[in-house]
Amino acid sequence: MTAFFKKPKRYMPLRQREPKIDAPQGLMTKCPSCKYMHYTKQLNENHKVCDCGYHFPLSADERISMLVDTGSFEKFPGPEVKANPLGFPDYEEKLAKDRERTGIEEAVVCGRASIAGHPFVVCVMDARFRMGSMGAYVGEAIASAVRQATAERLPVVLFTASGGARMQEGMVSLMQMANTSIALKQHDEAGLLYISYLTHPTTGGVSASFAMLGDLNVAEPGALIGFAGRRIIEQTIREKLPDNFQTAEFLLEAGQLDAVIHREQMRSFLHNMITLHGGGVDRV
């Protein structure tokens, strides 16, 4: 008998199972980059950065508590803006859902705080809320926080995390690029320091306005930063883009950023910069 007549052995595929971990939800966090399983508590103590260098996204509250002197943060009241300027269908329901899910009012949190006793104005965008997109609320909250900083002669540190314009607010959203830039120009003309701190992701209308207007533009490692979307560029130029395209490191090499800063150094970097830019030398 030849092999031809032999009935081939049949194997039954075993269903792949997630490794079973006997742990309550939230105890472990998996790194999406290197797949390592972290104890959430340990990860949090490590500024939410994996050993492989992956920076987990932070909520606005997490960022603020990691950065400023304990108890120093005073939140500014939210601006009074048109809730649904275009009358866009279902938009208000979406906002309400995100408010419930995230516990924040909108995609940015602004206030006054201090680092090692140095007061400054801080604005932190939160990408969990409508992908951090900018509508009238976000634009006006940032613009009015900057105006406040100008009035009190304080530096501004702004953490960006945004997909760009808020589609549901159309041109009202686009005009926030001008609104924020004008407030920042007035702050600039008053001789005050503005640090734009770009985190993952910073794209579209946000990258083409306040994100790029810092006296210093710095970014977190691996953050996606760009004007146009990767797919649109690939379709336009009909070629595949390199993997690191539009990352913080790519932009640093292209001369578009002052520095890429590991989250561990965030507080000390900002502390140094705020002190170094305070006052300057009096010349006779």
Binds another protein (CB under 8 A): choice among 29, 199, 207, 247: 207
Q: Which is nearer to another protein, 106 or 126 (CB)?
A: 106
For residues 17 to 56, the per-residue mask of contacts with another protein, x marking binding by CB under 8 A and - elsewhere, is ----------------------------------------
Using rule CB under 8 A, residue 78 touches another protein: no
Spacing of C-alpha 58 from chain mean position: 8
Residue 209 Cβ vs another protein, minimum distance, rounded to whole Å: 5
**Which of these ranges, 75-83, 114-122, 259-267, 275-283, lies near another protein under the rule CB under 8 A?**
75-83
Site size for another protein (CB under 8 A): 61
Q: Please, is 258 exposed, middle or buried when counting C-beta atoms within 10 Å of its C-beta (0-12, 13-18, 19+)? A: middle
Burial 109-142 (b: 16+ CB within 10 A, else e): bbbbbbbeeebbbbbbbbbbbbbbbbbbbbbbbb
Q: Which is nearer to another protein, 40 or 186 (CB)?
A: 186
Binding to another protein (CB under 8 A) within 139-178 occurs at 139-140, 143, 165, 167-178
Binds another protein (CB under 8 A): choice among 23, 27, 190, 232: 232
Q: Which is nearer to another protein, 41 or 185 (CB)?
A: 185
Residue 74 Cβ vs another protein, minimum distance, rounded to whole Å: 22
Residue 186 Cβ vs another protein, minimum distance, rounded to whole Å: 7
Secondary element (H or E) of residue 119: strand 118-125
Q: Note the residue count of the chain.
A: 284
Residue 163 Cβ vs another protein, minimum distance, rounded to whole Å: 10
Spacing of C-alpha 243 from chain mean position: 20
Using rule CB under 8 A, residue 228 touches another protein: yes
State whether residue 175 is helix, strand or coil: helix
Cis peptide before 8 (omega within 30 of 0): no
State whether residue 272 is helix, strand or coil: helix
Residue 130 Cβ vs another protein, minimum distance, rounded to whole Å: 12
Measured between alpha carbons, how far is residue 59 from residues 131, 160, 164, 278 in Å? 12, 12, 17, 29
Q: How far apart are CA 274 and CA 191, in angstroms?
A: 13
Q: Which is nearer to another protein, 43 or 183 (CB)?
A: 183
Q: Which is nearer to another protein, 80 or 264 (CB)?
A: 80
Residue 38 Cβ vs another protein, minimum distance, rounded to whole Å: 33
- Paired tokens of 162: 């945004």
Tokens 């502390």 sit on residue: 271
Q: 156-162 and 194-203: which strand pairing?
A: parallel
Binding site for another protein (CB under 8 A): 79-82, 85-86, 88-89, 135-137, 139-140, 143, 165, 167-179, 181-186, 188-189, 204-205, 207-213, 225-229, 232-233, 236-237, 239, 241, 245-246, 254-256
